[in-house]
Structure 1
Amino acid sequence: MADRRGLKFVGFIFASITLTVTLVTGVVVKGYADGDYSLESEPAAVQTVSIR
């Protein structure tokens, strides 16, 4: 049978990972809502050089 200290450690690891994923997801969703990120890519800028 597993000891309580080991189970507490494993629970702490899983809770840390869950909290990290939740925070990262919140930041990405907020970024999309604010317009910082976009799923649609804009066409690349074309620069022309003219020699006179």
Structure 2
Amino acid sequence: MKELVEYIARSITSQPDEVRVTEEEDEDGRVILRLEVAPEDKGKVIGRQG
């Protein structure tokens, strides 16, 4: 799933080299994916301008 999120994020951002996806597990065993992008790409990722 991490690779899919990274692929999609790199496809829609103007600075794909700034995309970072980290995977964590919480105390209940759930997997949390954290996505970081360049500030100017945040709107595209969350839906505005994208």
Shared fold, TM over 0.5: no
More helix as a share of residues: 1
Higher strand fraction (1 or 2): 2
TM-score (norm 2): 0.28
